[in-house]
Amino acid sequence: MQYMLIFRESEAQFGERNDPAKAPAYWGAWMAYIGALNEAGVVVTGNGLEPPHTAATVRVRDGARHVQDGPYAEAKEQLGGYFVIEVPGLDEAIAWAARSPSASYASAEVRPVLPPPQR
Determine, yes or no, domain membership for 10.
yes
Q: What is the DSSP string of 23-57?
A: HHHHHHHHHHHHHHHHHHT-EEEEEE---GGG-EE
The pLDDT of residue 87: 97
Question: Is residue 17 in some structural domain?
Answer: yes
> How many domains is the chain built from?
1
CATH assignment at residue 87:
3.30.70.1060
Q: In this predicted model, what pLDDT tens digit does every residue of 60-103 receive, in sequence order?
A: 999 999 888 876 656 677 889 999 999 999 999 999 999 999 99
Beta bridge partners of residue 78, listed in sequence order: 9
Q: Is residue 117 part of a domain?
A: no
